[in-house]
Amino acid sequence: MESSPNDELILAYIRRVNLDVMWSREGSTVGNNLSNLRKGRRMSEELGLKPQPLVMGPWPMSDLVGFQVAIEMLRASQKPGKNSSNYSQFDTIRKMRTAYSIAHDSSAAGHVERDTFKGEMGQVLAITKGKTDSLFFRKFVVGLEKRMGRFVIQNLGISHQVFNEILWRYEEELKLDLDPTRAREVVMFGTGFVILYTAALRGGELFLMESKEFCSRIHDGKKNSEEPHVVAPFMGRFKGETGERNVMFCLSNTTSSGIEVRLWCERLARLLMKEYKHLSLGPAFCEKNGQVLRSTDFDEELQRILLQIQCERPDLIDSSVDVESRFFIFRSFRRGASTRASVLKVDQRIIDMNNRWRKFQNRAGGLPNMSMGETYTEYSQALGMRVGFSKSL
């Protein structure tokens, strides 16, 4: 309807979708294809044959290729996003496609019309009629990404100089007559930061560290003649895996730059035992009532102390860095530790074993479910490589 503002707007979105589909291929590729079609037409005419018919339409008067979902994504892209008040990023709006695809696949129609077949090694492949899996929609997404690009604000890595400054400030704070609540926070945050850095963990993984096993093994490896180390046990369901898992990190007592891993871990163990949290299973990083701490608690503490360092030591953190949007426990410690290990030319096998620990725990396609004792016994057989990453930092 020409008088309808909505119809006018939808027509504009339709044109935008069409353009994104067209620009999913490079202009030179389209030009070459057109040139070859014309060449083929001339070859047929030279031989007295009718040219190959190229029927490009018309399109059906219904949406069979996900056109409306494409319009919804374009509309969503114009809404305020997390990093910009003018638009939402491609990585945000592309999740709409995933949601529609999952909704279709989990529907009754999606199950009935879905054809599956097995490939080599038992791999199951599927043929689906979902609109968002159509060639048209896939080309639209490619063109959309080319036009919008990806604007990602990554967590900045914490350098070893900044990390040592953090620990020095905590040490100075512990020398004061602190309020018990703050003293507890310093031990929790300080030990958490040490384990995040020396094990190069992603932020969420820290909260799977278990208190009872941690306290019972705090003296394991203390005087190991081969590699003195401290044990950090993790229990829980890890992303991308099924079932509950027991995972263990063996961290060097002291790193090459002087990070006292054992000192901080023993402080945490004493705190947990004082609060009787060594008597039953539970999170090692927790409130006094046993409730697991939140990642936002650690983020706020990290940003607080980094802002102090930025103000007092601009030689360590430049004043132009937006601390509150670039430093989070999710990636900052992992990036910093991995970068430090690479600069020190640590054997890539050791870095891979530490940073891809889930992959290295895989056994012939299955994941072992062992007790903590069995896990520690297995880890001790390759102690040099297990401890090597943290020892180098």
Residue 382 domain-assigned (yes or no): yes
What average pLDDT does the segment 285-290 reach?
90
* C-beta separation of 361 from 247 below 8 A: yes
Task: Decide if 286 is inside a domain.
Answer: yes
pLDDT at 264 over 90: yes
Residue 172 sits in the same domain as residue 127:
no
**Residue ranges making up the domain that contains 136:** 5-30+62-148
pLDDT at 360 (0 to 100): 46
For residues 120 and 241, membership in a common domain is answered with no
The last residue of one of the domains, among 115, 148, 181, is: 148
How many Å apart are CA 51 and CA 59, to the nearest integer?
A: 23
Cα–Cα dist 139/151, whole Å: 21
Neighbouring-strand partners of residue 127: 115
What pLDDT score was predicted for residue 75?
Answer: 94
Q: Give per-residue pLDDT as tens, 95-146.
A: 999 998 888 888 888 888 777 877 777 778 778 888 888 899 999 999 999 8
Quote the pLDDT of residue 238: 52
Last residue of a domain, one of 127, 148, 169: 148
Model confidence pLDDT, tens digit, residues 215-239: 988 888 887 767 888 888 888 655 4
Alpha helices, H only, 149-260: 160-174, 180-198, 211-216
The arithmetic mean of pLDDT across residues 231-254, rounded, is: 71
Residues in the chain: 393
Q: How far apart are CA 390 and CA 147, in angstroms?
A: 43
Distance between CA atoms of residues 184 and 170, nearest Å: 12
Residue 52 lies in a domain: no
Average pLDDT over residues 361-375: 50
- pLDDT tier, 364 (very low <50, low <70, confident <90, very high otherwise): very low
pLDDT digits (tens, 9 = 90+) for 302-360: 999 999 999 999 888 888 888 888 888 888 888 888 888 888 887 777 777 666 655 44
Does 221 lie in the same domain as 80? no
Please check whether residues 176 and 109 belong to one and the same domain. no
pLDDT at res. 243 = 46
**Phi, then psi, of 325 in degrees rounded to 5:** -115, -5
pLDDT of residue 319: 86
Q: Is the peptide bond before 283 cis (omega within 30 degrees of 0)?
A: no
**Average pLDDT for residues 57-65, to the nearest whole number?**
87
- Among 148, 173, 194, identify where a domain stops: 148
Span 282-296, average pLDDT: 91
pLDDT at 235: 81
Same domain? 172 vs 205 = yes
Q: What pLDDT was estimated at residue 370?
A: 54
Both tokens assigned to 291: 């409730």
- Residue 38 in domain: no
Stronger pLDDT, 5 or 120, i.e. the higher one: 5
Same domain, 239 and 319: yes
pLDDT value, residue 362 = 47
Domain membership of residue 252 (yes or no) is yes
Do 273 and 167 share a structural domain? yes
What value does the mean pLDDT of the chain take?
84
200 and 340 assigned to the same domain: yes
More confident residue, 24 or 381: 24
pLDDT at 188 over 60: yes
291 domain residue, yes or no:
yes
Asked if residue 142 and residue 182 are part of one domain, the reply reads no
Are 376 and 240 within one domain? yes
In this structure, the number of other CB atoms found within 10 A of the CB of residue 203 comes to 20
Clarify whether residues 89 and 166 are in a common domain: no
**Residue 203 · residue 250 · CB < 8 Å:** no
Identify the CA nearest to 338 among candidates 133, 177, 196, 173: 196
pLDDT at 366: 44
Domain-embedded: residue 155 = no
User: How much is the pLDDT for 338?
Assistant: 84
CB 311 within 8 A of CB 165: no
pLDDT 10s digits, 18-43: 999 999 988 888 899 999 999 999 99
Q: What's the structural domain count of the chain? A: 2
End-to-end alpha-carbon separation of the chain, Å? 68
84 alpha-carbon distance from chain centroid? 21
Six-digit token pair at 3?
A: 């008088």
Q: What is the DSSP letter of 207?
A: G
Position 43 in a domain? no
Per-residue pLDDT averaged across 71-93, rounded?
A: 87
Same domain, 104 and 189: no
What span, in angstroms and rounded, lies between the C-alpha atoms of 176 and 171? 9
Residues 6+ apart with CB under 8 A from 97: 69, 73, 132, 137, 141
Of residues 190, 207, 179, the one with CA closest to residue 290: 207
